[in-house]
Structure 1
Amino acid sequence: MKPALVILDVQEVLLPLIWRSAELVGRIASLARAARESGVPVVAFQQIGESGSFFDPEQPRTRPADGLALQPSDVVIRKTATDAFYGTELAAVLVEREIDTLVITGVSTDYCVDATVRSSLSHGFDVVLVEDGHAPVTEGDPAAGLAPEQIVERHNRILSTGMHPGGSVRVVPAAEVAFG
């Protein structure tokens, strides 16, 4: 296994909206430190949109969260879609580094995390989805009657049991993620 840690959209602008964001940021920052110590690349994503939009790329609030303590050696990729592969250089970055497994964390569980896990499989990568390393918005999905913790549990279960010939998904608690 040759992994990379993928951090999806943990941005200042989103933190007030995300369920248990402070806890999530701390957990992901710890994973990033452990990844670097093991020589594993850290790839963080910044969701952007058009000028003047919620995700205006020129606004400082759209930058990755300070609490992640990203380092100059980390790769930061801007994206415009829920799928981190769509229209980005992610596949090229991973191939260049001979990565075969993505350790996926970030926000939001039911949008970018879900889309990127599925796309990772289609691109032939194995996935380690960090069980407690992703979160939805604080309100959950009231229209579906789901609290935030139910969304996380549901996606952990669904994504780990799906079948795809391109790769596999293992759901692992952050405390058990091993990079070395």
Structure 2
Amino acid sequence: MNQSALRRPALLIIDMQLGLFNGSDKPYEGDRVLKNINQLIKRARGANAPIFAARHTGPRGTPIEPGSPLSQLVPQLDVDVKRDLIFDKTRPCCFFGTSLGERLAEAGTSELVIVGMKTQYCIDATCRTAADMGLRPVLIADAHTCMDTRVLPARAIIEHHNATLDGSFVTLASAANYEF
């Protein structure tokens, strides 16, 4: 069996939602990241790779409670609610308290392509857990983002995580070069 037959990728889009993407603190190069994610969605569809989109939600009564406007995916994101699996999570890791692991297993996924927000929280936690679960996580280096913090600018956070996660936890790829 050739290597491409063993490689069964899926795309995971994390927290590309109104409350984060369009909040008062703007994500670093958000428009470029969104464009790169949409390119990956198009390629995943062309290859019939499953697409999953996670939304971070909070408790009832908070601005990001389930179903609230701020918890909804940004409308510019090319997900298809009838075709793609959109799910809510309450923790940084997309696997904790969700059916993501089971859904990936049902789809026969071996390689998980990870994109979205926020680099130092949900992207980091999900990359590390995916590797621990025996998946081959691929972090798209130019398709995840975050905001500046009091300590570090977003660009430095993204570069640091790309360097830290690469090799030990993920394989890095660029949006332009990744093929499903």
TM-score relative to the length of structure 2: 0.91
2:90 aligned residue: 80
Q: Secondary structure at the match of 2:125?
A: helix
Q: Give, in angstroms, the shift of residue 125 of structure 1.
A: 0.5
Contact 1:26 1:67 in 2 (8 A): no
1:175 aligned residue: 176
Unaligned runs of 5+ in 1: 163-167
2:12 equivalent to 1:6: yes
2:3 aligned residue: none
2:55 equivalent to 1:54: no
Instruction: Compute the RMSD of aligned alpha carbons.
Output: 1.1
Q: 1:154 aligns with which of 151, 156, 160?
A: 160
Q: 1:25 aligns with which of 17, 34, 37?
A: 34
Q: Give, in angstroms, the shift of residue 28 of structure 1.
A: 0.6
Q: Secondary structure at the match of 1:176?
A: coil
Q: Secondary structure at the match of 1:4?
A: strand
1:165 aligned residue: none
| In 1: Cα distance, 2:166 partner to 2:78 partner | 29
Q: 1:15 aligns with which of 17, 21, 27?
A: 21
Q: 1:99 aligns with which of 109, 112, 116?
A: 109
TM-score relative to the length of structure 1: 0.91
| In 1: Cα distance, 2:87 partner to 2:178 partner | 23
Return structure 1 stretches of 4+ with deviation > 4 angstroms: none
Unaligned runs of 5+ in 2: 1-6
Q: Which deviates more from structure 2 when the two are superposed, residues 13-22 or residues 83-92?
A: 13-22
Contact 1:51 1:58 in 2 (8 A): no
Q: Give, in angstroms, the shift of residue 141 of structure 1.
A: 2.6
